[in-house]
Structure 1
Amino acid sequence: MAQARPSMQDLIRQRTRAGFVGRAAERALFRANFDTPPHDERHRFRFHVHGNAGVGKTFLLRELEQIAREQGALTAYVDDSAGSVPEAMAEISRQFTAQGHRPKELNRLLAAHDERRHEAELAALAALDARAEDAGPSAGGRAVARAGVVAMGMVPVVGPFAGMLDSDQLAGGVDRFRESVLARFRDHEDVRLVLAPEQVLTPVLLRELTEAAASAPWIALFLDTYERTGPYLDHWLHETMVTDRHGAMPATTVVVTAGQRPLDMALWGGLTDFVTDVALSPFTEAEARGLLAGKGVTAEPVVEEVLRLTGGLPVLVSTLAESRPADPDDVDDPSATAVERFLKWERDPARRAAALACALPRWLDADVFRAVTDCPQEQLEPLYAWLRGMPFVGERGGGRLRYHDVVRAPMLRAQRSRSPREWAERQRRLARTFGGWREETEAGGAEPWADETWRSLRLAEVYHLLCAGERDALPQALRDFVHACDAGAGVAAQWARALVDAGHDADTAAVAEWGTELTAALDTEGTLTALGLLLRRAVLDAPAQARARVVRGDELRGRAAYPQALAEYDRAVALDPELAVAYRHRAGIRRELGDDDAAIADLDRAVALEPDNSWYVALRGEHHRLARHHAEAIRDLSEAIRLDAANEFAWASRGATHERHGDLDAALRDLGRALDLKPDYAWALARRARAWRALGDPRRQLADLDHALALSPDWPWARCQRGDALRAQGRDEEAVADFDRALSLDPAYASAYASRGASHAGLGRHAEALADLNRAVELRPGYVWALCRRAVLLALMGRLEQARADVERVRELDSEALERLSDTDRAVLVSVLTG
């Protein structure tokens, strides 16, 4: 759409917008890129701005964003307030929506991702199921099982439940693993949203970008503070821009990143024809003078002093220019502190005091500003507006403000050295403020460590207690670090970073050392090593040690190191016999190791400690179901439902218990209730399909399996179930397609080989059928159904001796198996035996 030509005045205003001076070459380079079509070899799809702290990267990025908008681009700006790829996508979605392009599907999945993270305990409980048949282990089954358990162990909250699955089932064939883990973890989309959200969300983001590109000439994404966000964004960005793993990115998309470090050449080195590297240096003297002149600072002695003090660092030049100094009094005073250099020309004492006070917290919003400043009420709003406009204050996600490190650090040092007692008292006051807000969030009674708001307030409280030098602050921070590890590696890293910051800001070597060592342990070895360091060197009380042992056990279980995990849980219950979660997790490991009685005994103890915990009771009921204790399973699952009628896992598990026991009406009622509570509960749909099969209702059976697969298309067990349903209806060609899909997802799926072999036999493809049945028996030597099918096939092929051998093997394993064959198949085998 044609736009009116800008006037000279418009152009001048654009060029001097927000006082932006300098970086003319960088701005021109970026603007010219929009005049170069994407198919032109001169066009660049990514710009990477880098330079030391304070060099003006964020200022330039904001200017480039404005340039992009002038070109009609749909834009989004993301900084390190987004702590993960999903959070970055959420920020992009929010800003797109504000510009009139609402990504509905992405918003839906982002909301689901947040919900699943908060409900991960429910999801993990819903994941617990196992096949009834026993099976021998297979290498493929073990590999996939281990991968699945390790993945779950990496996830906050979900990790503690991963070890509750039966190791024999996991190793005994991928068919049993998929039912135990994927099917019973609510549904496959939930698992992927929690374990690998990028795989689910990125294709949707790309589709939303493609849709937006239909109405916007350009899309421009700006990723700031890349020295912090790059570790989790850079590989994702490379995969999204360069590979087609997640789909196609519109060619009209331009990505701009900015951080302290140069581009990772190991990753991007072969793509220099598509990326522009923008290295920022301090302002030249001409650029710095231009910025000062734009603020009315022209007196030569003042300009020279600014140039000397700042060395051309844009953030410092801009900071000093904002106060518009007119008199270089005391300019040669060698004792002037860095803070005085930032604020020496600011004559308003209230502003000076506010700027210093607001450097104390790591982040600011209007509430923190009111708490930290000591000024009359009527001055609060004007002061806050002034502070927000200062160049050294940047806005982060959620409206939070943060000082530039170059400015904040000397401000903190100045206040601490000037009056250590006042410093400590102000830090204590801030700790009380954040602590009070934290307590207010606990009113709901939910697990506080699962609440991001609670964690943020607690972290701020701990930071200020450390800065105040409180006696118990460091031991408490280290105890909190255990819980942070339980909440996830990202949360643990935030806690370790707070220790580093508090140690540096308060000049407390012990605190900084702990933070540095814990950060290094997390970066190199993960939470297992970090907690080991804590247990060896920190003075922790018994409950904290026990909790640390539980988290280490979860990590070891995720690595399939079951005996070592069991040892950690044993130490936990020895340290704190009242820690119910330790018994719950040890129950999972004991079942992994094949000791059902001990597992149930541990759950008895957990339930005794927390009798009103619906999940513990439901979990014990599920263990009873897996152990074929029908009455006990019904008892516990019914009690779990009484405690929490919205516990869809308990309804579904009780329905599965009824289905296995042959009470199909009760099974349908319970599974239906589970689906009322959660309509997209794929595992409940698949279990209900089994009930429809037993009732001889193939139409409803297929409908439920179709729905389950629509929700979880990559679920091999459901694929195989639908293949069996199609085969039972004589639709062998369609059945083979489902078995093919199941085996492409899981090449060691014994049941899929056996079922596909039966369908091939039904289609007269005896060679293919025999190959599949041979593979099924190879994976599971005691697979009675596959042996029966192979015996019938061998008899039809005239290979009677081999058929007789399979019949004898079946009789050894299950004397009644032959009686369950169809009349036709039994007649074939009788002829073999009597021939």
Structure 2
Amino acid sequence: MTGKGPALREIIKRRQQANFVGRRERLTEYGANLRLPLTDAHRVVIFNVHGVAGVGKTFLTQRFQQVAEENAVACAYADENCFDVVETLTTLAADFIRQGLTFRRFSQKSETYRQRRHEVESDPKAPAGAFLTKTAVGIGLSAAKGVPVLGAFADVVDAKAAAEQVDRFRIYLSEKFRRSDDLQLMLSPAEVLSRAFVNDLTRLADTHQVALFLDTFERTSPFLETWLLDLLADRYGEVPANLVLTVSGQRPLDSNRWSPYRSVIADVPLAPFTETEARELLTARGVHDERVINVILTLSGCLPVWLATLADHQPSDTSSVVDPSDSAVERFLKWEPNEEHREIALAGALARKLNEDILAAASGKTDNVPDQFRWLRQLPFVTETSGSWRYHDVARAPMLRITRSLSIQKWRTRHRQLAEYHRNEREALRIPQDDGWTDTTWQDHRLEQAYHELCAEPTVALTRALTDAVNATKASMTMARRWAAMLVAAGQDSGAQNVLTWGERLTEALLTTDDEEIAFLTTLLNGDLLADDARAEAFRLRGRDHRNADRYEAALADFNNALGLNSELENTLAGRGETYRLMGRYEEALTDFTRAIELDPEDDWAIGSRGETFQAMGRYEEALTDFTRAIELDPGYAWAIGNRGQTFQAIGRYEEALTDFTRAIELNPGYAWATGNRGVVYRLMGRYDEALTDFTRVSELNPDSAWATGNRGETYRLMGRYEEALTDLTRAIELDPEDHWAIGSRGETFQAMGRYEEALTDLTRAIELSPDSAWAIGSRGRTSEAMGRYDEALTDLTRAIELNPEVARVTANRGVVYRLMGRYDEALTDFTRAMELNPEDDWATGNRGETFQAMGRYEEALTDLTRAIELDPEDSWWVYLFGITRIKQGYPADGAEYVQKAINLAEHLLESAPLLHRANLIVYYATVDHWDKATRELVVLLREAQTWFRFHEFLADLGQLYKLPGLDRGSLDNLIYLAKGSN
């Protein structure tokens, strides 16, 4: 016979399904439901099949799938071989693709995720274990705030240390992957892939009705049930109306959690067959002898899987059916006439997954294995799933007990053979062990090897299995779940209570806490079976997790315990050093990082982290040395390049900072952190348009970044674009209501607009959130001064100086308040101190000159004003003050010349800051008797600014003109009257 026919697997599947008897009513209901209109009130969306093991749930689920396929429905199936949401989605999508259906978007995303994950897992620079912890994977871009940077305010540096625990991994991914889509995928894989899956599902539903089948839900529900409820709630996109879902497990769906869907759920409870159904099946299988029927009914308990198995192996001699002590499996073996088949059936049960090679290893035979495997695959309790074959649990468990009871030596020998098979297969991959934990094929063979070692020698193998449980945790929590399940299975199958107890403990740890990795590791550490090296690694991993959760003391305790077992663990020393750094214990951090570097001089991460510690200590030259060394070791190390740029920024070497940030961005155009920092440097350099471009780019990469939005608002404020500044800063506050920096910056914007009450409200709130925020306290002091509330201004400014006595501008601000209060000696003291702190500060120098002038100490005033003009030739106010000082000295012509220079400067700069320079121009015009111009500019100022400018200071400056000889006092009176009357 020639021609291409169906595959053997398909023939066996058809035969098994053809022999399915009973549940006809359920099949009819399912098929009828598929044909109902979508709007029919009786249409069912969810079929919930449930019942005890062996009752036929999987067979019924598969028959539902067959019915769906016969009705041209697109079907996909997943079972307990999946251990997380991503695996489940991948399995379902692969099922659709095998049918020739298109699932392009998910396939692309899934492949990208697989590749990117491998890149991260194999990258020694990845934050230790962060990607594989539950916390890190759960972080989304919407939750990740921008990383604060060294910038305009000193206390932002402290915020950096507090925020980076959440952001460190996001920063690492940002520098590693160029596309923001990749970043989102790595931060929230389940969510991104779910959206892609629903997108493809919706497209598929345009041409097909769709059916999903989730089998053995009792095993997958711990991670799958919440996702499934989110799916139905359209969290990942609108689910198509023509979807039919079958959920099959030992227990019914929880009535409370699934109550919103009660009206669209069909409850399908399965009990053992009735005697009538059982007899019908036996008749269909050719069993007619009443005595045989009675034996089968008794032994099977009317469970379909045993009814079918015993019926297929009925005895030829009915006299052999009378032993009432037999179990179903014993009777199955007794009725099988071929001794080799009986032996193969028992040998095949030893393996959790079967193929020809595994069967050969289990049986110890090499002859006739293909024929034996072909026979085995046709048994009712052997089914194919996920590319391999397996026994039904109700058949496998008693077969294992029989094999173990018949010969414990043969039991051990065969499990050793299977362990050796998986060891050889694993070694044939030629993957080093450390890398193997990131390879799924390697992982599968190591898992099955451990299972068979535990079955063969549970006491001896348990220590190694628990050691590898630590390694599994490093690989992923999905692998840890597999490991715990394997220990439970090995304990149950071998009868080893200690193995079972360990498996149950680890499984419970995974189910009873949100911090599953820490619970898993704690369970391992609480036992006494881990070897010292495994124990040290478990302490290190748990210490890392505590650190990532900001539990620094707990982290230190774990790192110390690990180092107590082995003081030369480079990665543990570096991990403890990182913890000390985050705690601000920099000297201890340096000690650990230095020792780690001594142990591994090529560890660019440890070198870079030590550089980050030096940076936090203000030891910038040493920081630069370390960052440069890390970059030499890896010229593409964007994180180190960016941090070196940040160090250059901190010491005012802005051009070098720009070079580094730009290089980091070239290496990774999606590197939002570097882009934002470059924006800060541009702003510090006064290159505001370029700063705006960078902050806008960060907002595009991360639309919910309060930091980027706030920094753009601060840039608008410095540009005098106050309305735009308010818009951005208000949005930043909405994104993070506790962001004292954005609140304070908005307060300063209100202050610049003359909206002083609103400014006070914001600045007071910022101080409540950060009581030691010197800049916010100082800014509130300046606001009080602008309102003429000098005592309150002095209180705030004095407190700001106490908190940060090295900031020249705050000391100079207090000097201004003293000057306005007429307390000139105290003003001089403050201005002199400010000039000592910053000899290049024209503002402090010019204000001291103004104070000398008010005291009549004109020569000293001129000396200071001359220096202020040298420092900033574009500041018209110092030129003006020089002019009126000369007028007061009795040199009116010379003074008027300087006032005219001030007018020229202010008119030239009017567009850059129209409110400030217009207010100054009014004073300048009045000084030289240009009353028409002064009046015209005052009208414009009052119309455009209302109360923007510091009105009492403006009036005070006009009032000083009364002291000038020869001034038209009547015109000055009119000007002041107009200003007061309009304000």
Of all paired residues, the percent bearing the same amino acid is 37
**Residues 32 and 752 (structure 1), Cα distance of their counterparts in 2 relative to 1, 3 Å cut:** farther
Work out which of the residue numbers 183, 186, 200 in structure 2 matches 1:208.
200
Instruction: Report deviation, 1:760.
Output: 5.1
Give the equivalent residue in structure 2 for 1:224. Answer: 215
Work out which of the residue numbers 366, 377, 396 in structure 1 matches 2:385.
396
CA distance, structure 1, for counterparts of residue 185 and residue 62 of structure 2: 32
Cα deviation per residue 1:75-124 (whole Å; 9 max; x = unaligned)? 22111212111221222232333445544443444345445554557999
CA distance, structure 2, for counterparts of residue 14 and residue 461 of structure 1: 33
Q: Is 55-64 or 702-711 further displaced after alignment?
A: 702-711
- 1:496 and 1:515 in contact (8 A); partners too: yes
Instruction: Report deviation, 1:372.
Output: 3.1
Q: Is 99-108 or 251-260 further displaced after alignment?
A: 99-108
Instruction: Report deviation, 1:334.
Output: 3.8
- 2:787 and 2:950 in contact (8 A); partners too: no
Give the equivalent residue in structure 1 for 2:34. Answer: 34
CA distance, structure 1, for counterparts of residue 190 and residue 82 of structure 2: 14
Give the equivalent residue in structure 2 for 1:742. Answer: 732
Give the equivalent residue in structure 2 for 1:590. Answer: 580
Which residue type is aligned with residue 639 of structure 2? F
Cα deviation per residue 1:478-502 (whole Å; 9 max; x = unaligned)? 3223333444544334333322222
Q: How do 1:418-497 residues align onto structure 2 when only pairs under 5 Å count?
A: 418-441=406-429, 443-444=431-432, 446-469=434-457, 472-497=460-485
Give the equivalent residue in structure 2 for 1:47. Answer: 47
**Residues 247 and 521 (structure 1), Cα distance of their counterparts in 2 relative to 1, 3 Å cut:** closer
CA distance, structure 2, for counterparts of residue 89 and residue 255 of structure 1: 14
Q: How do 1:625-664 residues align onto structure 2 when only pairs under 5 Å count?
A: 625-664=615-654
- Give the SS at the match of 2:257: helix
Unmatched segments (≥5 aa) in structure 2: 1-12, 175-179, 813-840, 844-874, 876-912, 921-948, 958-983
Q: How do 1:54-93 residues align onto structure 2 when only pairs under 5 Å count?
A: 54-93=54-93
Instruction: Report deviation, 1:390.
Output: 3.3
CA distance, structure 2, for counterparts of residue 349 and residue 410 of structure 1: 18
Instruction: Report deviation, 1:808.
Output: 4.1
CA distance, structure 1, for counterparts of residue 606 and residue 278 of structure 2: 65
Q: In the alignment, does 2:808 pair up with 1:816?
A: yes
CA distance, structure 2, for counterparts of residue 73 and residue 701 of structure 1: 56
- 1:51 and 1:259 in contact (8 A); partners too: yes
**Residues 171 and 368 (structure 1), Cα distance of their counterparts in 2 relative to 1, 3 Å cut:** farther
Give the equivalent residue in structure 1 for 2:699. Answer: 709
Which residue type is aligned with residue 392 of structure 1? F
- 1:359 and 1:412 in contact (8 A); partners too: yes
- 1:150 and 1:558 in contact (8 A); partners too: no
Instruction: Report deviation, 1:417.
Output: 1.4
CA distance, structure 2, for counterparts of residue 324 and residue 645 of structure 1: 74
Instruction: Report deviation, 1:602.
Output: 0.8
Give the equivalent residue in structure 2 for 1:275. Answer: 265
Instruction: Report deviation, 1:196.
Output: 4.7
**Residues 674 and 348 (structure 1), Cα distance of their counterparts in 2 relative to 1, 3 Å cut:** farther
Which residue type is aligned with residue 215 of structure 1? T
Q: Is 672-681 or 739-748 further displaced after alignment?
A: 672-681
- 1:151 and 1:195 in contact (8 A); partners too: no
Work out which of the residue numbers 550, 553, 571 in structure 2 matches 1:560.
550
- Give the SS at the match of 1:77: strand
Give the equivalent residue in structure 2 for 1:387. Answer: 376
Give the equivalent residue in structure 1 for 2:965. Answer: none
Work out which of the residue numbers 674, 682, 685 in structure 1 matches 2:672.
682
Instruction: Report deviation, 1:786.
Output: 3.7
- 1:484 and 1:491 in contact (8 A); partners too: yes
**Residues 296 and 223 (structure 1), Cα distance of their counterparts in 2 relative to 1, 3 Å cut:** same
- Give the SS at the match of 2:173: coil
CA distance, structure 1, for counterparts of residue 159 and residue 629 of structure 2: 32
Give the equivalent residue in structure 2 for 1:144. Answer: none
Instruction: Report deviation, 1:412.
Output: 1.1
Which residue type is aligned with residue 184 of structure 1? I
- 2:356 and 2:369 in contact (8 A); partners too: no
- 1:702 and 1:725 in contact (8 A); partners too: yes
TM-score by length of 2: 0.72
Cα deviation per residue 1:114-165 (whole Å; 9 max; x = unaligned)? 455545579996779xxxxxxxxxxxxxxxxxxxx9996745999xxx9xx9
- Give the SS at the match of 2:431: helix
Aligned length: 793
Which residue type is aligned with residue 361 of structure 1? A
Instruction: Report deviation, 1:747.
Output: 1.9
CA distance, structure 2, for counterparts of residue 664 and residue 635 of structure 1: 17
TM-score by length of 1: 0.83
- Give the SS at the match of 2:305: helix
Which residue type is aligned with residue 594 of structure 1? G
Q: In the alignment, does 2:319 pair up with 1:332?
A: no
**Residues 478 and 709 (structure 1), Cα distance of their counterparts in 2 relative to 1, 3 Å cut:** same
- 1:93 and 1:102 in contact (8 A); partners too: no
CA distance, structure 1, for counterparts of residue 842 and residue 46 of structure 2: 65
Q: Is 778-787 or 567-576 further displaced after alignment?
A: 778-787
Instruction: Report deviation, 1:389.
Output: 4.0
Q: In the alignment, does 2:512 pair up with 1:524?
A: yes
Instruction: Report deviation, 1:457.
Output: 2.2
Cα deviation per residue 1:673-714 (whole Å; 9 max; x = unaligned)? 544554433333333434454566555544444443333333
Instruction: Report deviation, 1:273.
Output: 1.4
**Residues 505 and 273 (structure 1), Cα distance of their counterparts in 2 relative to 1, 3 Å cut:** same
Instruction: Report deviation, 1:606.
Output: 1.9
Q: In the alignment, does 2:166 pair up with 1:181?
A: yes
Instruction: Report deviation, 1:250.
Output: 2.3
Q: Is 332-341 or 463-472 further displaced after alignment?
A: 332-341
**Residues 155 and 388 (structure 1), Cα distance of their counterparts in 2 relative to 1, 3 Å cut:** farther
CA distance, structure 1, for counterparts of residue 432 and residue 664 of structure 2: 25
Instruction: Report deviation, 1:270.
Output: 4.8
Q: In the alignment, does 2:238 pair up with 1:237?
A: no
Whose Rg is larger? Answer: 2
CA distance, structure 2, for counterparts of residue 821 and residue 493 of structure 1: 66
Unmatched segments (≥5 aa) in structure 1: 1-12, 129-148
CA distance, structure 2, for counterparts of residue 687 and residue 121 of structure 1: 28
- 2:121 and 2:438 in contact (8 A); partners too: no
Instruction: Report deviation, 1:268.
Output: 1.6
CA distance, structure 2, for counterparts of residue 276 and residue 527 of structure 1: 37
CA distance, structure 2, for counterparts of residue 171 and residue 371 of structure 1: 64
- Give the SS at the match of 2:807: coil
RMSD: 4.1
CA distance, structure 2, for counterparts of residue 740 and residue 193 of structure 1: 30
**Residues 760 and 224 (structure 1), Cα distance of their counterparts in 2 relative to 1, 3 Å cut:** farther
Give the equivalent residue in structure 2 for 1:575. Answer: 565
CA distance, structure 2, for counterparts of residue 433 and residue 670 of structure 1: 53
Instruction: Report deviation, 1:180.
Output: 5.8
Q: In the alignment, does 2:266 pair up with 1:266?
A: no
Instruction: Report deviation, 1:405.
Output: 0.9
**Residues 655 and 451 (structure 1), Cα distance of their counterparts in 2 relative to 1, 3 Å cut:** farther
Cα deviation per residue 1:581-625 (whole Å; 9 max; x = unaligned)? 221221122123221111121112222223333333333333333
Instruction: Report deviation, 1:15.
Output: 12
Q: Is 572-581 or 655-664 further displaced after alignment?
A: 655-664
CA distance, structure 2, for counterparts of residue 126 and residue 665 of structure 1: 29
CA distance, structure 1, for counterparts of residue 156 and residue 225 of structure 2: 35
- Give the SS at the match of 2:273: coil
Give the equivalent residue in structure 1 for 2:9. Answer: none
